[in-house]
Amino acid sequence: MRKTAITIGDAGGIGPEIIVKALYCAEIRDYCAPVVIGDRVVIEEAINLTKLPIELKLIKSPDESKSAMGTIDFIDLNMVKKFEKGKPTAENGRASVSYIKKAVELALDKKVDGIVTAPISKEALKMAGYSWPGHTEMLAEFTGTKDYAMMLVGGSLRVILVTIHTPLKSVPNLITKERVLKIILLSKNACDMLGIKNPRIAVAGLNPHAGESGIFGDEEIKVIIPAIENAKKHGIPVTGPYPPDTIFHKAYKGEIDIIVCMYHDQGLIPLKMIAFDKGVNVTVGLPIIRTSPDHGTAYDIAWKGIANASSMLEAIKLASRLKI
């Protein structure tokens, strides 16, 4: 049984609650042996909140995990004594980083086969003095990874992003031949992780109608098409660029395996439209497996017992299927 480390994320958000709910599902034990990393005071309160008959079992190492139904094997880092709920704080931000760092260390040491990270707060990270805009960049630094990308999986769509957390006005200048080529190559890596043997990789254009032969923008002609042609020389089965308003429908119908998207919302809007509660974030290019629910801390509903655990459940299941 593959061991999966699960970090509780920002203690003030919905991460602890959705972890407890997800691990209460019997089917999880068919996929992996989960080991949760965080603070005991937080997870115990989450168990009390859900009123589920779950026993907390404290362990020092994943080697001690038994993965028994009705129990949560838990590594307590003892970072917070009393935590605030429903808002970002510096203390919760520092603690969330410690949980992730511990999980990465276990994965790099082959003590676990992959990690699943509950949502963290970008604002809490900033309050704690960190400059990472999110999990992806943090994980790249912790693992010494230079080339990486964010892939989102939901329903019949898989998207991988050329630019991630950046203002929209900055996107055109960040779309370079080198970067587009790198993400196309990583999209093949993503398909390998998913076990797709003959992938159909498609590239979305940046502009309306993919530029319409330069009428609506020339990034396709100057940057994206040369990157695609270069990727083909590397033996990558890639086509495009396609108009962004049609390519997602093709993927939805099963004609495409993964779409290379130029910016964050281009890929995430259609994916969240069809898989809002079940989307999964995968970091491609790392030396370890990492997935995460495709949503945030949801402070507005945190610690009210109403959070939906579907995305966390899917993230755990997908982590157990991925291969590096």
| 114-160 tens-digit pLDDT | 999 999 999 999 999 999 988 989 999 999 999 999 999 998 899 99
Q: What's the mean pLDDT in 154-170?
A: 93
| Mean of the per-residue pLDDT values of the chain | 95
Q: What is the pTM of this model?
A: 0.94
| For residue 26, pLDDT beyond 90 | no
The answer, yes or no, to whether residue 1 has pLDDT greater than 80, is: no
Q: What does the angle CA 110 – CA 115 – CA 120 come to, to the nearest 5 degrees?
A: 140
Q: Which residue has the tokens 């990472």?
A: 132
How high is the pLDDT of residue 45?
97
Give 201-230 pLDDT, tens digit per residue.
999 999 999 988 999 999 999 999 999 999
Give the tokens for residue 258. 């993964």
Q: Quick one: which of 126, 120, 128, 135 has its CA closest to 94?
A: 128
Average confidence (pLDDT) over 151-180: 95
CB-based burial label for 147 (10 Å; 0-12, 13-18, 19+): middle
Note the pLDDT of residue 58: 97
For the chain, which domains are there? 1-145+287-324 (3.40.718.10), 147-285 (3.40.718.10)
Q: Chain centroid to CA 119: how far?
A: 9
Q: How far apart are CA 67 and CA 70, in angstroms?
A: 9
- pLDDT score of 82: 86
Q: Which two tokens stand for residue 190?
A: 């993503």
Residue-level pLDDT at 29: 86
Q: pLDDT by residue (tens digit) across 247-284? A: 999 999 999 999 999 999 999 999 999 998 899 999 99
